[in-house]
Amino acid sequence: MLVLSLQSLAQESVLDSQVKLAGTSTRVSRALSEVSRLTGYLFTYDSQIIDAERTFVIPGEDMTVREILDSVSGDPAVRYSVIGRHIILYREALSPPSADTLPEPLPVIYSISGKITDAETSEPLHYATIGISNRGRGTVTNFNGDFILRISEECLADTLSVSYVGYINRRIPVRSLPGNYMTISMDRDFIPIPEIIIRAQDPLLIIRKTVSSVASNYGTTPALLTGFYREGVYRKKEPQIYSEAVVQIYKSPYARSLQNDQIKVLRSRKIENLEVKDTLAVRLKAGLSATLSLDGMRHLFDFLDPESFNSYQYHLTDIVTIDDQSAFVISFKQKDWITEPLMQGDIYISVDDFSVILAEFEVNPLYVDQTGESFISRLPRDYSMKPEYVRYRARYRNADGRYYLAHVRGDLGFLARGKKKLFSSRFNIFFELAITDYRTDNVVRFDHEELAPVYSIFSQTIYGYDAGFWKDFDFLKPEEDLVEALERLNVRLGEFGR
């Protein structure tokens, strides 16, 4: 307790430490950069409440950091919080109306959003894991590093945890986030591991321990997951078909169970940018089913199956930080004498409990063309399809001592060419599932009539587009280029904004 108290005191004292800024006036961005240089602390703030281009008068030569921040914000409602080596500038979430004034108050839903970036380069970190520390709420960032998450009032006293492979976890009080669009920077974490230690580890032994620990790490009881699913087909960088849905998943026990997983669609919609003259319309085959099969700890990945060890080469290549713990990085690829299309990639396995935290892999590019048209619906008779790449990602998150599926994604690239056509058409297809909530109490299987047709073409099971149907459901914030493309089609995605 003494150590924690002293550390907290040291962190708070940075706001009362004196610094000197040159000149009589300066821009906000320059002032914050200079304070960062002098103190070693980085700033996280909402650009809607802090205008980085505003010029303000420096009130004196020697000022405390707190006084400088008062001048920077120009708003007495802006608060400051010191977390680690970060200073957060924010407005507190407004308290909901008193129960005395509303006979039957509705649940208050808050929206938190922001962008996750690299602290040194300011580059966005895509697929960063976002979670409420002590609850089953979470999401991931999109390719632009943006995220949005809706939470209840009870989460305000909790902490937002941000995790990314090779970076130090960020933790931010949830109360500082609603109503603020935060740019949250992440610091890289370098683990100096001698090469001799890495060489001494046997990757096959690590994987065997992983397989034998599935039940203890991932659970022997069912769980109910709520998630956001989306899939899209692009032709020449323009979206042809875009479908999205809020789904619930009955996740069967990871051991001693013959039950299959189930999916129920709660809300869904689609957009089609297909004209009558289009003779080539590509659709993803069984995208919902693919998200279930990518849970490689429930349906053991081939490259983790001891019976397939003779088909792959394994190498322990690194030890990195992820989710505040160290993880082995095991790279794998098929052996040279095998000519069928197998996977290659990297597995991130916890050093502490041998759980798979992340798997990133692809069909071997040398043999990907052998996969043919297995991922897409039937093409017109005079067209052929050649795969260019098939890539997958599966991410797990630890909550209350149990690992849950957090995010899966598939990216597929194809070239389609007609027999009498001179040029080919390039298609890019993706599907993605982000788990936003889970529970393990009173979990029962879905009735048959509730089940989604997971082996069907998902976009053909949706019959309309509802412009404002998300309400309080969580969704993945669309990438900027997708939003721009859809705006050209005069449609709009779920409500979001800075």
pLDDT digits (tens, 9 = 90+) for 447-475: 888 887 765 545 555 444 444 555 555 55
Confidence of residue 5 (pLDDT cuts 50, 70, 90): very low
Residue 283 is predicted with a pLDDT of 60
Give the model confidence (pLDDT) of 92-116 as tens digits. 655 555 545 444 555 567 778 888 8
The strand pairing partners of 331, in sequence order, are 315, 346
Kindly state the average pLDDT of the residues 340-363.
Answer: 95
The type of residue at 377 is S
Q: How far apart are CA 286 and CA 372, in angstroms?
A: 16
Kindly state the average pLDDT of the residues 208-225.
Answer: 93
Q: What's the mean per-residue pLDDT of the chain?
A: 77
Instruction: Check if the beta carbon of residue 426 is closer than 8 Å to that of residue 413.
Output: yes
pTM for the structure as a whole:
0.75
Kindly state the average pLDDT of the residues 433-438.
Answer: 88
Who contacts 383 (Cβ-Cβ below 8 Å, separation ≥6)? Answer: 280, 416, 417, 418, 419
Other CB atoms within a 10 A radius of the CB of residue 255 amount to 12
Residue 8 is predicted with a pLDDT of 37
Higher confidence at residue 27 or residue 375? 27
* pLDDT of 272 over the 80 cut: no
Confidence of residue 197 (pLDDT cuts 50, 70, 90): low
Confidence of residue 303 (pLDDT cuts 50, 70, 90): very high
Confidence of residue 498 (pLDDT cuts 50, 70, 90): very low
List Cα–Cα distances, 301 to 347, 360, 494, in angstroms: 11, 12, 34
* pLDDT of 176 over the 50 cut: yes
Q: Say what percent of the chain tops pLDDT 90.
A: 21
113 token code pair: 């959003």
Residue 488 is predicted with a pLDDT of 52
